[in-house]
Amino acid sequence: MARGRPRKSAQAHAASGNPGKRALRVEPTPGAAAALEPPAHLKPAAREVWNRVVPQLRAWNRLSPVDRELLAGFCALMGRHYELEDVIAEHGCTYLSPTGLVKERPEAKLSAQALNAARLIGESFGFSPQARVRLGTAEAPEDDDDPLDSL
Higher model confidence: residue 144 or residue 135? Answer: 135
Asked if residues 86 and 92 have their Cβ atoms less than 8 Å apart, the reply is no
Whether the pLDDT of residue 32 is over 60: the answer is no
Higher model confidence: residue 10 or residue 121? Answer: 121
Q: Nearest 5°: phi and psi at 103? A: -125, 160
102 by DSSP, 3-state: which?
Answer: strand
95 by DSSP, 3-state: which?
Answer: strand
Whether the pLDDT of residue 78 is over 70: the answer is yes
Residues in the chain: 151
Q: What's the pLDDT at 150? A: 57
Alpha-carbon distance 48 to 37, whole Å?
A: 12
Alpha-carbon distance 148 to 1, whole Å?
A: 42
Mean pLDDT comparison of 2-11, 55-64, 139-148, highest-scoring range: 55-64
Domain ranges in the chain are 41-133
pLDDT digits (tens, 9 = 90+) for 40-74: 999 999 999 999 999 988 888 888 888 889 999 99
Alpha-carbon distance 84 to 99, whole Å?
A: 25
Alpha-carbon distance 30 to 24, whole Å?
A: 18
Higher model confidence: residue 65 or residue 35? Answer: 65
Whether the pLDDT of residue 81 is over 80: the answer is yes
Higher model confidence: residue 137 or residue 24? Answer: 24
Q: What's the pLDDT at 82? A: 96
